[in-house]
Amino acid sequence: MDLYRVIAGRDRRFDGDFWFGVTSTGIFCRPSCPARTPKQQNVRYFPSPAAAAKAGFRACRRCLPDAVPGSARWDVRADVTARSIRLIADGVVDREGVPGLASRLGYSERQLHRLLTGELGAGPLALARTQRAQTARTLIESTSLGLAEIAFAAGFGSVRQFNETMHEVYGCPPSELRRPSHSLSGEIRLKLAYRPPMDVAGLLRFLGDRAVAGVETYDGTSYQRNLRLPHGRAEVAVQPGDGHVAATLRLADARDLAPAVARLRRLLDLDADPDAIDTALAAHPAFAAQVQAFPGVRVPRAVDGFEAAVRAVVGQQISVAGARTVLGRLCRDGLFPTPGELLELPDEAFAMPVRRRETLRGLARAEIDLSPGADREEARAALLALPGIGPWTADYVLMRALGDPDVLLSTDLGTRHGAAALGLPTEPGALAAEAERWRPWRSYAQLRLWRAI
């Protein structure tokens, strides 16, 4: 790929895939930066904002290169590097340090540092540090919190470290980033970037159709829900914006901003590469017309792995409306139950057959890793080992909770009806064989099959 041609054309499709620094200015940018294109001999390319900062470049305050969509390759890949990136985005390094991250992945700190530096040009601490700077900038620009409060909320160990990092990354003291119109209401309003096109309305409608009373609401435009975050709860709302998803967050603890944003981005599949996905699916005659009519279909994911698994177990072989009713009875105080809370619920709270109730309790006891950094194959095997969970449920959890882009639920009744509507084979084996042509995007094909009915 000619990377210089990409930045000369200000191609937004590559935002998040690479960054470039300009040696004559000492600034690094995203490929679509609207500033004048630098001379080719003055350009250096980087695989991450952390690598650019490590090389001594400051973030462009015009294009905000640290606020672009993440690379779609981390969703496709399931290796240790991809799992690390997802966990760092969720704030694991801030809460548990690099030793905690390495322990979750089953690697030594040295091995992990070598892997990430080799591919991203920076180790886990530098990657987390860059994320802290972005979180701090967001809090500075959108809240009335004092700078010392922001320093600790963003995960910095001291105000001095905060000031040094912000000056290094943005080339100015933190106070210069504060906008006169910052929020006084306690709300944080953000623009969540994505690669266009994106069927935002279709995605929010999917979530709204499955909204659980007390936890989620959908009014036809805006989707709202409560989140359980590491330091407290939060209320979030998202709706379509002009080239972005508009998000409003109310956090009990400002330290939860980074994990809240990471979970919203995962829920809405904002880091997907719609050009690659739609091009692959449109090559199949069954999907060509639908891709043209509805470009940028995304896979609705989840804000919490255990929640997604509970939804999958409850949703087996019952209607969407029935599942919403059952799930609503499991929730207390506007939040989905934790595994421990679910085990404490009395039998009458489940409102479901004994066998399925015991499946839920078995799931809660199993403590399966369904976090963003979980190993997909290990998680699937662990789910299938539980009584009452079969391939449909395990695969649905992989698609929704772990963000696997290549899942097809070929035995699902809705899938088979959608296949019939599009002129595809309806027998599960034949449909699965046909779907080999859609790899590695079968989860997106799955959403289009459901849409066909």
Q: Which of 404, 335, 409, 339 is nearest to 368 (CA)?
A: 339
Pairing of strands 58-59, 27-29: parallel
What are the C-alpha distances in Å from 368 to residues 24, 168, 263?
Answer: 51, 40, 19
User: Which residues have a catalytic role annotated?
Assistant: 29, 412
